[in-house]
Amino acid sequence: MVLRGRCRCVVARWVACVVAVGTCMVGVGVPTSVGDPLPTPSVPVAASPETPVLPGHVVTIRAVVEQTAIETPAKTREWSIHMKLSFQGGWMRSLNITKEECQYLADTFWSGSAPDYFVKVESVSIFCDLDAYYLGEARHAFYSLDEAGHVQVRAPMTYLTQIVDSFEDASITELQVDFTSINNAHCNAEPWLAHLDDLLVVSHRSYCQWWPDKGDTVPTTDEPLLEGDVEQAFFDFERGTVGPFIDMPAPINPFTITPTPSQAEEPASGAATEAAASESSSASSRGLLIGVGAGAMLLLLAAAVGITWARRRTSRNVAHRPESADGRQA
């Protein structure tokens, strides 16, 4: 075991061995609910969030990327890459992140679905926890492994930095990158704690931690944060495969969404529609007035024709009426 960094701690190996033995005996770790589970967002977010997110909150975020064995929703047992984001809004009740706010964070920052991926959302006391699990080839969003056995591990720090910047007042207070079945490891980006080559039962484990309150600068790019040589146990326990980094299949990054042409033209289209409707209404009113006027004229004309016809008939009847014996018309 090698400890490097500004903090040099003495850690008892037997503790790590006991934990490792327990893990091997159990076989997997099943994600369990310790808070209030919330619906997981599967429909991709449609637009960038309005900022600032959760105004009035001072938000701290703990981020962890680690290997873990889990039971999947399909009831299979697989090794995954687990990424956890834990949001805290403050210790005062008025600053706590509510269930509704936690659901909003999940819908905004952790939407979408992909093969070999599932997510859990929980409101736990004063925390909002988002736990994402990547299986199979989706794990390569976090590590690359070449044919020579060199492995590099990263965290999606570009996206996490965008999340932090979307709040009124937020910061990452802890970042940890953890990997097993790795030896001859080293950390990049100057972490506060570099816990390297810790001996387990059949392999080694290394992790790097960044704590800003210890003077660290949390990385903001997607460059590898942990590197080393993969061990045979990595393949024996099917913890991963050879392959390069890939783009993270999920969640959907809402900050990369741009309005579609139809969305961009929607206000203009709405104005045009309103103008057309107004013009149509005006035209309809003019048409109605014209129609009423024409109808009135027709009625007057019909009345005049009727009166004239009636007068002519009356005159004709008078002219043809026979005279009586005294010379008067009957």
14/293: higher pLDDT: 293
141/26: higher pLDDT: 141
Q: Are residues 139 and 176 in the same domain?
A: yes
Range of the domain at 157: 2-258
**The predicted structure's pLDDT at residue 222:** 98
Residue 173, pLDDT > 80, answer: yes
Q: Are residues 295 and 167 in the same domain?
A: no
**Other CB atoms within 10 A of residue 152 CB:** 19
**The predicted structure's pLDDT at residue 49:** 93
10/281: higher pLDDT: 281
- List the beta bridge partners of residue 267: none
Q: Are residues 41 and 146 in the same domain?
A: yes
Is there a contact between 182 and 151 (Cβ–Cβ < 8 Å)? yes
Report percent pLDDT > 70 for the chain.
67
pLDDT digits (tens, 9 = 90+) for 257-272: 887 665 545 544 444 4
Q: Are residues 188 and 320 in the same domain?
A: no
Residues 6+ apart with CB under 8 A from 153: 65, 142, 143, 177, 179, 224, 225, 226, 227
**Quick one: average pLDDT of 174-203?**
97
Q: Are residues 186 and 326 in the same domain?
A: no
Q: Are residues 191 and 90 in the same domain?
A: yes
Residue 72, pLDDT > 90, answer: yes
Sign for the CA dihedral angle at 51, 54, 59, 65 comes to negative
294/201: higher pLDDT: 201
113/289: higher pLDDT: 113
Q: What is this structure's pTM?
A: 0.72
Last residue of a domain, one of 240, 258, 276: 258
Total number of residues shown for the chain: 330
Q: Lowest mean pLDDT: which of 43-57, 89-103, 210-224, 233-247?
A: 89-103
Which tokens go with 159? Answer: 């996206």
Last residue of a domain, one of 239, 258, 277: 258
**The predicted structure's pLDDT at residue 28:** 44
Which of these, 172, 26, 144, 153, lies nearest to 82 by C-alpha position?
Answer: 153
Q: Are residues 230 and 278 in the same domain?
A: no
Q: Are residues 135 and 282 in the same domain?
A: no
Taking only Cα atoms into account, the Rg of the chain, rounded to an integer number of angstroms, comes to: 39
Total count of domains within the chain: 2
Residue 256, pLDDT > 90, answer: yes
Q: Are residues 263 and 251 in the same domain?
A: no
Q: Lowest mean pLDDT: which of 44-58, 145-159, 301-315?
A: 301-315
Is there a contact between 225 and 177 (Cβ–Cβ < 8 Å)? yes
Q: Are residues 165 and 279 in the same domain?
A: no
Q: Are residues 272 and 160 in the same domain?
A: no
**The predicted structure's pLDDT at residue 221:** 98
- Split at pLDDT 50, 70, 90, the class of 293 is low
Residues 6+ apart with CB under 8 A from 244: 140, 144, 146
With left for phi above 0 and alpha for psi between -120 and 50, is residue 206 left, alpha or beta? beta
Last residue of a domain, one of 209, 236, 258: 258
**Average pLDDT across the chain, whole number:** 79
Which tokens go with 137? Answer: 């080839």
Q: Are residues 49 and 85 in the same domain?
A: yes
